[in-house]
């Protein structure tokens, strides 16, 4: 990189030419490989199962993990666990191994083979699998508990509470 940008010997040299930072970034990205989603880590089925079983009488747990890349080129791991119960459970969400106070994909369109909806709770509602919630007063909640976990190295948040993610424009 130094040979391609000879005017810059130290990072502090970019203070005088902030427009050159974009060129440096582009050249560095061109010389490196994008990170793989597997490098991010994940919580895993055993943890979700143990968590659900510590709170509820669990009949069955279904777990899936998908890995991919965001439009920005950053890797992404998405974990989803659903426990079948005798009574309505709750929706648990997390970003980068930390719980969130709300649906991190609120406003994000999620599409499945039969329907699409906005947000995790909207998708679960469309699939008749939304557990008990304050917004579900008008229909019978599903007898499930759900956990959704998103891992990405540089999340872009849409709110100050760092709860809602920008997944479409990242």
Name the residue with higher pLDDT: 93 or 125. 93
- Cα separation, 68 vs 76, in Å, equals 5
pLDDT score for 134: 56
Instruction: Tell me what the pLDDT averaged over the chain comes to.
Output: 86
Name the residue with higher pLDDT: 35 or 116. 116
**Domains of the chain: residue spans and CATH:** 1-32 (no CATH), 38-151 (3.30.230.10)
Name the residue with higher pLDDT: 81 or 108. 81
pLDDT score for 139: 62
Summarised one tens digit per residue, pLDDT across range 46-105 is 999 999 999 999 999 999 999 998 887 889 999 999 999 999 899 999 999 999 988 999
Rounded to 5°, the CA angle 35-41-46 comes to 155
Name which of 58, 75, 74 is nearest 66 in CA terms.
75
pLDDT score for 78: 95
User: 32 CB contacts (<8 Å, ≥6 apart)?
Assistant: none
């Amino acid at each position: 990189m130094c040979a391609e940008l000879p005017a810059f010997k130290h990072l502090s040299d970019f203070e005088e030419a902030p427009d050159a930072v974009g060129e440096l970034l582009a050249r560095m990205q061109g010389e490196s490989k994008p990170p793989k989603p597997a490098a991010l880590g994940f919580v895993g089925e055993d943890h979700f199962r143990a968590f659900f079983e510590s709170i509820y009488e669990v009949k069955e747990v279904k777990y899936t993990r998908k890995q991919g890349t965001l439009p920005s080129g950053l890797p992404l791991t998405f974990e989803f666990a659903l426990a079948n119960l005798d009574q309505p459970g709750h929706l648990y969400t997390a970003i980068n191994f930390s719980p969130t106070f709300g649906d991190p994909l609120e406003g994000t369109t999620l599409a499945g083979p039969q329907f699409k909806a906005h947000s995790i709770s909207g998708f679960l509602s469309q699939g008749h699998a939304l557990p008990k919630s304050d917004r579900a007063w008008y229909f019978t909640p599903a007898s499930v508990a759900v956990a959704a976990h998103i891992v990405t190295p540089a999340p872009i948040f849409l709110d100050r509470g760092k709860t809602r993610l920008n997944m479409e424009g990242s």
